[in-house]
Structure 1
């Protein structure tokens, strides 16, 4: 690891070189430059890991160097040396991603501590990079396996991914399929008494997989036992259906040389991978059809009677709708509600059976919302009004405002609960700011997860935990500096900063001057 010291004062440079070389810090090279242009040449040639630079120098200053490093070698960490009167420059350095600053007069302990922190950050970044390379290598070597895990989750898990998660996964796995059908190929023996039948089924399904890969090496497949799940790209026009049928027939012709019967089940068309679990259930319906029609080799789900399946599917959708409402997710709840109509017809009209099924489902979901609120009474009245609906046609449209109101009711309940928790958190901080407290200790006090508490604090106050705690400590220290004659060391300890040097830095970063300068100014005006 290399460090570059940039300072126009020879004595200062020599002192820093001596300090670092005699310390336990391990640098392969300690480089020096008396000015910024020379420093830039050294950076270009030797590529140091850390640049330790004074701010005020002739020709160009330390901020110019920090800007150059940020734009050209952002991985290099810059530490600036500044005096109290130059603090406004140090604040400007934030724009250039300066790692830290050291206050003049230079203190050996704080300087070495600052450099140690920079080394630790660089080492952590290199470990992350190394881990990332290992993960990337593993992914490249096991992409096929990871792809199968992805399909397994979508096929057999009932909880859908978010649209963002799905998009990330598809991009990561280089899946570029828009409209598709789920195709399942399963083998059956003509003779039931063949020995080692299970092993042979696995073998023949493997032959089917090879035959598919021969036709399309990038085919998206999931092989489990004697069945192959195939994400088959397709279009909605009739020609595509005809072409798909011919494609399946050609595949069966290639496989018929073996003493095995292959049967192919084909789902409805979809453009959403989250529908795979539902499409798999359609395949189950197709496969049950084979029990009564063993001579059929290719079955499209769309050709079967779907009434029983649609009713089954309604319960599944209703469960998902309830989950989204109780999560306060208006967008996903509305999308799910819309599917009750779009799945069964092209218009917003629905059957009487589905209309009253939805009424019952939403009524049960409303009971799970425990909050007492006038909005809940309004929703109950709207549901009661709909229950008295009698007509020749029924529509999904009246349910949209009801579902939206239910989501609002849930979110208001979350808001009320969140307010209570944040109030407890703020009370705890106010009572214990002079102690060594953290987000973890606060979370334990309110008996909640730290990440949840952190999110609540930001939502309700617009600030994070650290900022709230620091602002309270700084305000109290300002009061003690102005109204008492206590030593700064004592004040630092009273407001929760056992380390006075750290207190000085934090105070200066918030107020723009040191605690001592603040006391002098306030006493002068008073």
Structure 2
């Protein structure tokens, strides 16, 4: 541990350095500085954990120094010395989160005990961080073991009798009779991409699935032996929600990485032992529909459509609701809806009903996503539709949607993105996902993802990666921390994945990058 003494009076500076038994209290190196400027240079070079500083110095005050060094070593413990018992000094020290405020002349025992207290705090903090890292490592290892077992089971490497034992259900708190459905996510077929880049994109897709599905207790994401992402989706109360969630997931992935995925859904089965049936169903459907243009493939026998227009209308309504955060996209879909009305010769009365269903659905999602309060615009709109003809109903619906989605949308969108960027910066070392960010901002993941992409021009996950890589570059240039430690500090639990991401962004490995500055 390192300490820095800053005082423009040489006698005080040297006196503190000589009188304290530093090694006994756990401090190995002690530096001294006669000015704020000199102290700042030492902090930049040595990164001491503790600083003892005077307030009144000629070139730079102790308070100004504290503000500067906090930007370099935010967790630094600071002890302020002053010969003036002034409230304003104490108030500013409180604002700067100073740990101790001591009056000169300083009693040797008081200063020793104060330093001991800071050393003890830092040691406890380091120990707690170590325990947290160990806990995270154990959890990651446990999850990896689960995914490997399930992947091996899907491919017949182990039997259900071998894996699904009483010990398995004690280790993993799942219901043995859980209804579930296998969903295979086939990544895009790249032509000109390197294998390393494909691996990075596939891993990124898998991480988003984990944040969207696993983190919410909706299922388990794993990689099968062919490298495809497989989601074992938990079906609750006999009513599959998989289709809705998989649609949201594919939309988020498309927004984040500009790639179109194919999601193939197997049959619903009861119990972990039967998941191979669902997985094999999905594999057969994938092979059968590998050239199909649909993004989501499922057994057509499960779909209940009375008329072709109802199917088209339902898809358009879902697409409009899914894109509430993008007014231009909603209005383009609405134009297609008007064309469909003509193509299918929909009667005037049904046109009004469809217009109301569209408007009310979009209005509901808008209120839900933006957390706004309902007003009287929908009842007023319904009264207009009741006496409107075919063309008037379409025109009034268009006006309703434009007023709803294009009012203060841009201002609100920029405010959301600003808050999101601030949250990312403050929680960079944690596991951040579109879902967790949206939850923190009280928005739905789909709505937030589209807002972020529209305002910034890039996907939210791509922005998070960029911020993490920039922080990694800074740490690689200015510290001697090992690569795995840096990876953990910027939110990567897998060092290999961090190296892939770093190389994709910078064109070189973390080690090569560091060598440039050595």
**TM-score normalised by the chain length of structure 2:** 0.39
Report 1 or 2 for greater relative contact order, CA contacts < 8 Å, sequence distance ≥ 6: 2
**TM-score normalised by the chain length of structure 1:** 0.39
Q: Which has more radius of gyration?
A: 1
